[in-house]
Amino acid sequence: MLIRKEQDLDPIQTEVFDIMVGYDIEQRNRRKQHATRRLLEARRAIERHREEKELMSSIDETCWLEDEH
């Protein structure tokens, strides 16, 4: 909706315009929150993978199994 500066809006037009702008801002914020959440989940998955990899390299399974017998 293109509105000229010199055009006066009645209260209903102003309210509709404010609702539309507010909706756009709300949608943009939701998209940002979703993207941030996905990024955080990806980072956590990478951290878990690195921790598992580090643990697997530090544990010698054959020694653990030999101690049991």
Which carries the bigger pLDDT value, residue 19 or residue 68? Answer: 19
Q: Show the beta-strand stretches assigned E in 1-69.
A: none
Which residue do the tokens 């990478």 mark? 46
How would you class 11 by CB atoms within 10 Å of its CB: exposed for 0-12, middle for 13-18, buried for 19 or more? exposed
Closest Cα partner for 21 from 38, 3, 39, 35?
A: 3
Which residue do the tokens 């993207």 mark? 35
pLDDT tens for each residue of 11-66: 888 888 889 999 999 999 999 999 999 999 999 999 999 999 988 888 766 566 56
Looking at residue 35, what is its pLDDT? 97
pTM: 0.57
Looking at residue 54, what is its pLDDT? 87
Taking 60 as the threshold, does the pLDDT of residue 2 lie above it?
no
Cβ distance 25 to 39 under 8 Å?
no
